[in-house]
Amino acid sequence: MTDQHSIVKKHFAALLSEAREAEIPTDVVGRAILARLVEVWAEERQWQDVASELRFTADSLDPDTDFEFMRP
């Protein structure tokens, strides 16, 4: 696992643990993270690029479909 994935995994686990203790549902945490992520991306990327990234992710959700292209 790469350094960036290890860092994110560690902090995400801590975030989910804190949310569970505060009785915040996982889906609420997920929506808040997604909203914040979009804000961070939009600080340095065009909205069209952010939308493209989100579409790619949404289009890749089906576990029975192989990725046509894997983003780095």
Position 49 pLDDT exceeds 90: yes
Please give the residue that has the higher pLDDT: either 71 or 67.
67
- Report CA-CA distances (Å) from 16 to 6, 31, 34, 72: 15, 13, 14, 25
Position 70 pLDDT exceeds 70: no
Where residue 2 falls among pLDDT bands split at 50, 70, 90?
A: confident
8 Å CB contact between 32 and 44: no
Position 12 pLDDT exceeds 80: yes
Percent of the chain with pLDDT over 70: 89
Where residue 42 falls among pLDDT bands split at 50, 70, 90?
A: very high
3-state secondary structure 19-67: HHHCCCCHHHHHHHHHHHHHHHHHHHCCHHHHHHHHHHHHHCCCCCCCC
